[in-house]
């Protein structure tokens, strides 16, 4: 009896020793993995794909300037997310604006984080959701992204439906061929058994297609995810389609609309998508608006006000004042430069009045 107990104890001890050895080996392998040098991503391997870059919402000039200043002062804190393409190059999935800063500022050292995606469409899907998760989106940007998300998911649902129909047709063909074979063999029992098995599988719903089939309407799912109504999703889809048409003809106008620098009626852009409004005609109008006179900064705008103070009456006649006021709009850049150089408003007004006097001689 004692001998038996000793054998059991020895076996337990040997088993424990074996487990300890396995744990140690596992720890060693894990450390090797952790210490293994990761693939270094070099700048020349970076690829900017236009179809991905257009999904990134544009920054205003001021926002880009602030980003540039922050990166130059503090360095890059958030890594640029990249996806390794089949050709070995790395496409940017997030961080296009940071990459632009790196391109014009060699002192800013980029950091990268690689993410694994099955393909380009999955990258786009991730980018859209990632952009929608940001809080500083304009209303135009959010509508545009929701429209893109709806289009992407609608296409994915259509692909799944096509796959389902293809498999159903293939299964039917196979079933018909097998039934003909069974009928020729004169074995009705086998046919009965096969039909019973098919019924069982159908009842369980455990087919590859069923497992991946989307639930509900695409617009309902997108609406629930973004906390908007299905109608808003449909409108956003039309908005995105119309804006893409405009973007193909004039990328700079599309960027201005998305950044909020150029205000355009949403209904006009949706009308472009439906063909009710000509994109070229709308673009011509938008270009006229965007190239119109811009508002000067407050200091310059104040100097554009009629000159009726700060000057002795004998120094400037009413006629001179009218001349100065008539040409003030032409001196915006010069006024801004003089302000930066430290001249006060009185001095600048006097300079402008002298210019007018000289021109009138």
How confident is the model over 299-326, as pLDDT tens digits?
Answer: 544 544 444 444 444 455 566 655 555 5
| Buried-exposed string 51-83: b where 16+ CB fall within 10 A, e elsewhere | ebebbbbbbeeeeeeeebeebeeeebeeebbbb
Q: What stretches of 36-138 show up as alpha helix (H) in DSSP?
A: 50-53, 61-74, 96-104, 120-132
138 confidence band (pLDDT: 50, 70, 90): confident
43-119 classified as CATH 3.30.360.30: no
Encoding tokens for residue 156? Answer: 């994915």
| Buried-exposed string 234-247: b where 16+ CB fall within 10 A, e elsewhere | bbbbbbbbbbbbbb
Q: Summarize pLDDT for 210-244 with one digit per residue, the tens.
A: 334 445 689 999 999 999 999 999 999 999 999 99
pLDDT for residue 200 is more than 80? no
Q: Which residue has the tokens 């804006």?
A: 243
198 confidence band (pLDDT: 50, 70, 90): very low
For all residues of the chain together, what is the average pLDDT?
74
Q: pLDDT at position 185, please?
A: 58
7 confidence band (pLDDT: 50, 70, 90): low
Q: Where in the chain is the domain with CATH 3.90.1530.10?
A: 43-119
Q: In which order are the strands placed within the sheet that holds 46-47?
A: 46-47, 90-94, 80-84, 112-114
- Nearest-CA neighbor of 290 among 253, 333, 332? 253
Encoding tokens for residue 330? Answer: 């032409």
Q: Summarize pLDDT for 165-178 with one digit per residue, the tens.
A: 767 666 666 666 66
Residue 268 · residue 277 · CB < 8 Å: yes
**What mean pLDDT comes out for the span 22-40?**
53
HSE value, Cβ hemisphere, 13 Å, CA-based, for 5: 2
pLDDT for residue 120 is more than 60? yes
Residue 138 · residue 258 · CB < 8 Å: yes
**What mean pLDDT comes out for the span 23-43?**
58
pLDDT for residue 260 is more than 60? yes
pLDDT for residue 204 is more than 50? no
What is the end-to-end Cα distance of the chain in Å, rounded? 130
The secondary structure of 331-344, three-state, reads HHHHHHHHHHCCCC
How do beta strands 46-47 and 80-84 pair? unpaired
8 confidence band (pLDDT: 50, 70, 90): low
Q: pLDDT at position 110, please?
A: 93
pLDDT for residue 53 is more than 80? yes
């Amino acid at each position: 009896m004692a001998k038996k107990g000793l054998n059991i104890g020895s076996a337990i001890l040997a088993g424990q020793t074996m487990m300890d050895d396995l744990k140690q080996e596992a720890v060693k392998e894990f450390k090797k993995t952790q210490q293994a040098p990761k693939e270094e991503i070099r700048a020349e391997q970076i690829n900017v794909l236009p179809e991905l870059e257009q999904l990134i919402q544009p920054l205003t000039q001021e926002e880009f300037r602030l980003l540039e200043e922050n990166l130059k002062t503090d360095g890059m804190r958030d890594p640029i997310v990249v996806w390794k393409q089949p050709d070995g190059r790395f496409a940017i999935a997030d961080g296009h604006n940071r990459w632009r800063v790196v391109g014009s500022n060699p002192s800013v050292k980029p950091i990268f984080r690689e993410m694994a995606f099955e393909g380009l469409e999955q990258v786009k899907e991730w980018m859209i959701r990632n952009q929608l998760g940001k809080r500083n989106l304009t209303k135009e940007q959010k509508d545009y992204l929701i429209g893109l998300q709806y289009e992407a998911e609608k296409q994915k649902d259509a692909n799944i439906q096509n796959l389902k129909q293809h498999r159903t047709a293939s299964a039917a063909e196979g079933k018909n061929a097998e039934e003909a074979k069974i009928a020729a063999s004169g074995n009705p029992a086998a046919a009965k058994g096969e039909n019973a098995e098919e019924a069982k599988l159908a009842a369980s719903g455990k087919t590859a297609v069923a497992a991946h089939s989307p639930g509900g309407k695409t617009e309902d799912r997108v609406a629930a995810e973004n906390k908007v109504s299905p109608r808003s999703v449909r409108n956003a889809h039309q908005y995105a389609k119309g804006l893409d048409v405009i973007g193909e003809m004039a990328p700079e106008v599309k960027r201005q609309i998305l950044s909020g620098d150029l205000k355009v009626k949403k209904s006009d852009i949706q009308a472009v998508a439906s063909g009710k409004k000509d994109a070229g005609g709308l673009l011509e109008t938008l270009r006229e608006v965007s190239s119109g006179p811009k508002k000067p900064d407050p200091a310059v705008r104040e100097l554009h006000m009629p000159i009726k103070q700060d000057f002795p009456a004998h120094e400037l006649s009413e006629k001179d004042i009218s001349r100065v006021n008539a040409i003030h709009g032409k001196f915006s850049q010069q006024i801004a430069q003089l302000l930066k150089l430290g001249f006060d408003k009185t001095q600048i007004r006097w300079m402008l009045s002298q210019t007018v006097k000289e021109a009138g001689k």
